[in-house]
Structure 1
């Protein structure tokens, strides 16, 4: 950062720091002196924070060579010691156990802190009707209304004939022959459904009691179909409404270190189906999902072992027939208890898990997330439809999740997968494992909707999903959400399917994959040179309607972190309107802000890239 850069930095810092003071002056004129003094103080605090960041940056910039030199010397000094300790049969394991134990204690402390943080935030938002406190992710916006009849439909996204008509009337100058338009497949998307699934992704961050309360209020069959699941440190739930089944994965819990360990395990792992390669995927996400249960039909007359959900259980028999039997059986029992406790305590220290969501009496290490979900969904598919007894095989309008009267046979299931952040990555991984194992669930798969999901695999992985399946896959990116753009190294590529970009003004634009190569469109890089966060005009207009906590989060966290909160996706889909479907040939970065759209299209035409745009008019 040169002299000019320093001037720009301090100029922007001064403007941003002055905003609370200007608002405080306005309140001071209205007689609210104490609030004004607080805002004046916050201006000094924010400016001091900018100065601290500048000093830290300059220190790091000029001191980096010295730091590297110091670390290199430390490395040369400790390397032979570490090598000898690792080779030791006694000291090596002991030191490793101590380090793992310290990590385990920190892990459990942070997990328990989740309750304390929820209780603290509850002072601002109160308790939910289920008598549970709201999580950190949703404390700023604790609204869980899952359906909204005012969300308009986009007919050409709902109806094939409407889409074909739009294609014929939407040839653009860059696509004079209509080539790309002819190749374009209809994205099978529903905005009301996307909103409902976004709220479900928001809801999964809460306690099970709160989730069940809200699902029951929304008309889901909680009593018969709801199933919460956990595998080590990832969580999900399954529920059904009118033959629509949803599988919802939870994103990163800010107070679960193991979630971050999963996120940061970014090594690429090659995977393949029985017939072909599927590219490379994020090793942390892939391993977190676990493997499918073996589909082996038991032979006639054979016995099948049943694994209890309570995990491994130790049975002890004591005998008091005589003094000798009393003492010997007690000693034997004591040995078994000590062995059992030592073995399993060591197991949990080595691989700490978060059992708080499912409860401490449930085994969440023996059955993979994939096998739990697949088995439960297949069980739901075998149950009769809700209206089958009344209507037989006749078609009937089902309201379902998309909030429309869809005609289909009673008993015909539809299966949707969804998730936010880490949950979105797990949802994509689940679908990939369905393809890899040729799961029967592929027959009822109806859509994958993810929100703010990170990248999961390489370019080959993103293209391996067939066009028919890609037309049902939608990854949403809200404005400058940083998680939707990472990892941007090590060969990672944009997620499969259609990019659904939601701008700060809540305009929604679709970017389907390239019709020739099935290559998905990447979201544009974060725009640091445009006004974002508290400086964005659309955000400023929404501030009076936002809660105190949400405004506080906007002040405390940078805009690219704030844009990742699930509430932004819910609000954008509830209040937003689908404006365009953009199809391009060649490399293209989607998700342009309204202010940039005309400039980007002109740039495409100047580069002679072929593209086609369908303008969509949403109707009630």
Structure 2
């Protein structure tokens, strides 16, 4: 198990620098208050904030802390908890970003790295695993994606211990120093594999009695390009839970193929929660019919082909029903940036 702790800057040191007036940080001046006080989801500021966090989770704790400080959580405490076991198809990376006042924590899971073969094997490790989920007493058994479930469990206990420190008014970092306030608002997020892990952790928090104190602080789960994690029976049970139905928000960009995975040849899977579609030049819109499972393997062939043709100007506008190019986290960040809002680099919106 590896951990990395850091504290983000407050960006006061940037003010003397010569740069355009529009390139000011933080992007959101009162982000702690927005994250703490918002009661209805999805919220466009929070969707943009968590998409940005999910995109930069492909880096390290120092980078995540810096970017989240730019977005609005200046002076945040950031902890990375990781476990890699290639033979077990485990590549689990969780980031805990805690506001400087201690009231807000974002739990962000890193997604699938395109060049990391072990991650792809994790996603392909779809052999269902039967787990007892205590939606009722006694718990009912359901089937979940084995690879996603294994990756959540790999770092779960360390993540929970850090969140419990936040509940006690301490830092999520290993030193655990006192914070001005105890945890009031918890958000979970991720892109791709990270999105699947976020959804899986949400189910655990909502159903495990031992996690009830943390569940009461959970405000929402925002995922981006999330594959399916549960069999249809578990998805139905999740949708019967008011919180999971209303406050798990899944964003799908363009023709992103990953939300249609695993394909039906791997067994039956289904989504739960709210689904919102976004694309180039369009705002996120809700859908009444959730994304369906990929019915055959031709889409898996077309998806990388769409990525390749996008690199060639002559073929860039060819229509594809499934696209790996549209899965990129940068597309989600761009599509969910509100009009007139600066980017994490300070570029004017």
Q: Same fold (TM over 0.5)?
A: yes
Distance in 2 between residues matched to 1:283 and 1:483, nearest whole Å: 17
Residue matched to 1:607 = none
Matches within 5 A, 1:65-76: none
Residue matched to 2:282 = 506
Counterpart contact for 2:261–2:293, Cα < 8 Å? no
Distance in 2 between residues matched to 1:436 and 1:468, nearest whole Å: 11
Residue matched to 1:229 = 81
Among 264, 267, 271, the alignment partner of 2:124 is 264
1:343-392 CA distances to partner (integer Å, 9 max, x unpaired)?
xxxxxxxxxxxxxxxxxxxxxxxxx311111110110111179xx97xxx
Residue matched to 2:344 = none
Residue matched to 2:46 = 193
Counterpart contact for 1:203–1:211, Cα < 8 Å? yes
Among 148, 151, 154, the alignment partner of 1:288 is 151
Residue matched to 1:480 = 255
Residue matched to 1:462 = 235
Q: Secondary structure at the match of 2:262?
A: coil
Distance in 2 between residues matched to 1:553 and 1:209, nearest whole Å: 35
Q: Secondary structure at the match of 1:574?
A: coil
Shift of 1:220: 3.0
Counterpart contact for 1:146–1:200, Cα < 8 Å? no
Residue matched to 2:347 = none
Q: Secondary structure at the match of 1:247?
A: strand
Q: Secondary structure at the match of 1:523?
A: coil
Shift of 1:431: 1.6
Distance in 1 between residues matched to 2:155 and 2:312, nearest whole Å: 33
Residue matched to 1:418 = 189
- Where in structure 1 are there 5+ consecutive unaligned residues? 1-142, 150-157, 160-186, 291-367, 390-409, 513-520, 534-550, 578-620
Q: Please tell me whether Structure 1 or Structure 2 has the larger radius of gyration of its CA atoms.
A: 1
CA 1:556–1:248: 2 relative to 1, 3 Å: farther
Counterpart contact for 2:26–2:74, Cα < 8 Å? no
Residue matched to 2:290 = 522
Shift of 1:467: 1.7
Distance in 2 between residues matched to 1:248 and 1:499, nearest whole Å: 19
Report which stretch shifted further, 214-223 or 199-208.
214-223
- Whether 1:214 aligns to 2:67 is yes
1:306-362 CA distances to partner (integer Å, 9 max, x unpaired)?
xxxxxxxxxxxxxxxxxxxxxxxxxxxxxxxxxxxxxxxxxxxxxxxxxxxxxxxxx
Counterpart contact for 1:475–1:495, Cα < 8 Å? no
CA 1:199–1:555: 2 relative to 1, 3 Å: farther
Distance in 2 between residues matched to 1:426 and 1:230, nearest whole Å: 13
1:51-107 CA distances to partner (integer Å, 9 max, x unpaired)?
xxxxxxxxxxxxxxxxxxxxxxxxxxxxxxxxxxxxxxxxxxxxxxxxxxxxxxxxx
- Report the TM-score when normalising by structure 1: 0.40
Distance in 1 between residues matched to 2:254 and 2:293, nearest whole Å: 10
Distance in 1 between residues matched to 2:109 and 2:313, nearest whole Å: 26
Shift of 1:469: 3.0
- Where in structure 2 are there 5+ consecutive unaligned residues? 1-22, 30-37, 85-90, 172-178, 304-309, 341-349
Residue matched to 2:217 = 444
Distance in 2 between residues matched to 1:460 and 1:429, nearest whole Å: 15
Residue matched to 2:14 = none
CA 1:252–1:468: 2 relative to 1, 3 Å: closer
Q: Secondary structure at the match of 1:209?
A: helix
Residue matched to 1:453 = 226
Residue matched to 1:433 = 204
Matches within 5 A, 1:11-410: 147=27, 188-220=41-73, 225-232=77-84, 233-241=91-99, 242=101, 243-274=103-134, 275=137, 276-277=139-140, 279-290=142-153, 368-383=154-169
Distance in 2 between residues matched to 1:260 and 1:379, nearest whole Å: 33
Shift of 1:273: 2.8
1:283-320 CA distances to partner (integer Å, 9 max, x unpaired)?
11111222xxxxxxxxxxxxxxxxxxxxxxxxxxxxxx
- Tell me the number of residue pairs that the alignment of Structure 1 and Structure 2 aligns: 272
More strand by share: 2
CA 1:461–1:377: 2 relative to 1, 3 Å: same
Distance in 1 between residues matched to 2:312 and 2:157, nearest whole Å: 38
Q: Secondary structure at the match of 2:324?
A: helix
Shift of 1:452: 0.3
Counterpart contact for 1:422–1:454, Cα < 8 Å? yes
